[in-house]
Structure 1
Amino acid sequence: MEKLKIGNLELVWLRGGVTHMDGGAMFGVVPKPLWEKRYPCNEKNQIELRSDPILIQHNGKNYLIESGMGNGKLTDKQKRNYGATEESKLEAWLEKYLLIPEDIDYVLMTHLHFDHACGLTKPEGDGSHSSVFPNAKIIASNVEWDEMRNPNIRSRNTYWKENWEAIESQVEPFENEWKHGPFTMIHTGGHSDGHSIIVIEDGGEMAIHMADLMPTHAHLNPLWVLAYDDYPMDSIFAKQKWINRGRERGAWFTFYHDAFYRAVKWDEQGEISDSVKRER
């Protein structure tokens, strides 16, 4: 298990599945000769992207950041299109901490695109879906929750009713910020209209979970934003703000998607000064 200490908190990366998405889409207008030096691709121009939730225990409560890809949610066509080669192993990894999904108290969702939200529900034999974390409060921005249930012509391919109908009663949306103990969720927009980041502070230390504003360590440059971003200028402004703030505080930046690093610190020259690498 890869772990990171933030004050007295321990962040533990679980295994939530993997996709291989088009590298050009993941780096937007950045030319391939530039991004390929920082993040390799396969012969199909796809880059490996994890979907690994982070487990944090605090004051007797169990928190997850994101939910993983789930199991049995993708069709064969979707698996091919998204390069999905591994489904979630979340339950088996929770067992290592003597936990089951029913023990999760909070699921903090930066946004509700399928690769973040598929793990919230599971298919039943009758074609319906049920909640994977039936005792959890599921936290997301109000803007994101609204669009999840009423997607537009662009977003309907990533906001699926299978991922929200079964957990509707568990969702607790917030407007601008949600504060709870060491966690602060902040609505940023950018990648989606309702996208949020998560700031974790304890014992004078800080971690910033930028989610899909900075899905990998190779996206440090504020101008390197995704073609998938609905509001790229909002992404750029939010990245500038929070990367600078994090550097000033000596913060860790944590990742859900990165196939090589779980968390990094950068120096003023943009070089990695400390890191937690993914075990491969």
Structure 2
Amino acid sequence: METLEIGQIKITWLNGGVTYLDGGAMFGVVPKPLWSKRYPVNEKNQIELRTDPLLIQKDGINVLVEAGIGKGKLSEKQLRNYGVKEESKVEESLQTLGLTPEDIDYILMTHMHFDHACGLTKWNEEQELVSVFPHAKILTSSIEWNEMRHPNIRSKNTYWKENWEAIVHQVETFEKSFSLVAGIEMHHTGGHSDGHSIIVLKDQGEVLIHMADLMPTHAHKNPLWVLAYDDYPMTSIDRKSNWLEFGERQNAWYSFYHDAFYRAVKWNSTGEIIDEIKRQRTTSN
């Protein structure tokens, strides 16, 4: 598992599964000859997208960012349609680190689309959906939590009751910004979803920005390269531009949940990668 330290904050990427989604949808109106130079595509026009939670550890607390694609939650049709080649192994990743799901104190949900939230619940032996992380407080924006429970005609395809009903008692919401502890912040942005948020880590003069689905991979750095899945693309462009400007001033790292090749990168002022944490890929993926 890859790691990165931001001052005294340690980040470890867990195995949350993988999907293969339509590359055109992931890059919106950007022509394929442009985006395919930056991110590989297969013969079905699909691109590999991880769903790997980040484990953040500071001052003895364990924080997850997102929850993975889950295990045993999707039907055969859903597995096929979403190109799921591997389901979550978050519990196994935690075990490797000497942790269990019960050791997770907080879960920061940038938004609650199925590919981020399926890993919050699981089927027990009685075929009831229960919380995977029973002791954790689950944090998301109030706008996101409202839409999760009351989706509209467009969003109902990605906000599923199976992912929230069993954890409703664990959820706490915020409005614009929230500081979990010193150096771990959430900021509402909108854009990808109306309630979408990003995460900013700061410690000992170092900064990391987790842009979530405003910048799902390193290939989405261009502010204009936004997803066809975005509910409010002009908001995505505006917020991404603002946070990229902030990050450039701070010499910030950028981390990823979906990128199959990079866990985190730093760019210089001309857009060149000057530091990187690459994902360790096996021969099978």
In which range does the TM-score fall when normalised by the shorter chain?
over 0.9
Is residue 236 from structure 1 mapped to residue 237 from structure 2 by the alignment? yes
Distance 2:138 2:150 in 1: 18
Is residue 202 from structure 1 mapped to residue 214 from structure 2 by the alignment? no
Three-state SS of the structure 1 residue aligned to 2:57 is strand
Listed one character per residue, the Cα deviations across residues 219-264 of structure 1 (whole Å, up to 9, x for unaligned) are 0000000000000000000010001110110000000000000000
Listed one character per residue, the Cα deviations across residues 29-71 of structure 1 (whole Å, up to 9, x for unaligned) are 0000000000011110000000000111111111011100110
Shift in Å, 1:96: 1.5
| Number of aligned residues | 280
**Paired residues for 1:138-153 under 5 Å:** 138-153=138-153
Distance 1:172 1:222 in 2: 31
Q: Find the counterpart in structure 1 of residue 114 from structure 2.
A: 114
Q: Find the counterpart in structure 1 of residue 191 from structure 2.
A: 190
Q: Find the counterpart in structure 1 of residue 70 from structure 2.
A: 70
Three-state SS of the structure 1 residue aligned to 2:145 is helix
Q: Find the counterpart in structure 1 of residue 166 from structure 2.
A: 166
Instruction: Give the letter for the 1:150 counterpart.
Output: H
Instruction: Give the letter for the 1:3 counterpart.
Output: T
Instruction: Give the letter for the 2:192 counterpart.
Output: H
Q: Find the counterpart in structure 2 of residue 137 from structure 1.
A: 137
Instruction: Give the letter for the 1:272 counterpart.
Output: I
Three-state SS of the structure 1 residue aligned to 2:41 is coil
Q: Find the counterpart in structure 2 of residue 51 from structure 1.
A: 51
Q: Find the counterpart in structure 2 of residue 250 from structure 1.
A: 251
Instruction: Give the letter for the 2:204 counterpart.
Output: G
Q: Alignment RMSD, CA only?
A: 0.7
Listed one character per residue, the Cα deviations across residues 109-140 of structure 1 (whole Å, up to 9, x for unaligned) are 00000000000000134442000000000000
Distance 1:51 1:95 in 2: 18
Three-state SS of the structure 2 residue aligned to 1:122 is strand
Three-state SS of the structure 1 residue aligned to 2:241 is helix
Shift in Å, 1:97: 1.5
Instruction: Give the letter for the 1:274 counterpart.
Output: D
Deviating runs (4+, > 4 A) in structure 1? none
Listed one character per residue, the Cα deviations across residues 192-245 of structure 1 (whole Å, up to 9, x for unaligned) are 000000000011100000000000000000000000000000000001000111
Q: Find the counterpart in structure 1 of residue 86 from structure 2.
A: 86
Distance 2:57 2:35 in 1: 36
Q: Find the counterpart in structure 2 of residue 98 from structure 1.
A: 98
Instruction: Give the letter for the 2:273 counterpart.
Output: I
Three-state SS of the structure 1 residue aligned to 2:264 is strand
Distance 2:9 2:177 in 1: 21
Q: TM-score of the superposition, structure 1-length normalised?
A: 0.99
Q: Find the counterpart in structure 2 of residue 179 from structure 1.
A: 179
Greater CA drift, 175-184 or 237-246: 175-184
Three-state SS of the structure 2 residue aligned to 1:74 is coil
Distance 2:51 2:123 in 1: 19
Q: Find the counterpart in structure 1 of residue 261 from structure 2.
A: 260
Distance 1:201 1:96 in 2: 27
Greater CA drift, 123-132 or 238-247: 123-132
Distance 1:170 1:155 in 2: 23
Three-state SS of the structure 1 residue aligned to 2:5 is strand
Q: State the identity as a percent.
A: 67
Three-state SS of the structure 1 residue aligned to 2:85 is coil
Shift in Å, 1:180: 1.7
Distance 2:200 2:114 in 1: 23
Instruction: Give the letter for the 1:57 counterpart.
Output: Q
Q: Find the counterpart in structure 2 of residue 278 from structure 1.
A: 279
Distance 2:177 2:105 in 1: 19
Three-state SS of the structure 1 residue aligned to 2:193 is coil
Shift in Å, 1:148: 0.1
Three-state SS of the structure 2 residue aligned to 1:279 is coil
Q: What are the ranges of 5 or more consecutive residues in structure 2 without an aligned counterpart?
A: none
Is residue 39 from structure 1 mapped to residue 70 from structure 2 by the alignment? no
Distance 2:260 2:144 in 1: 26
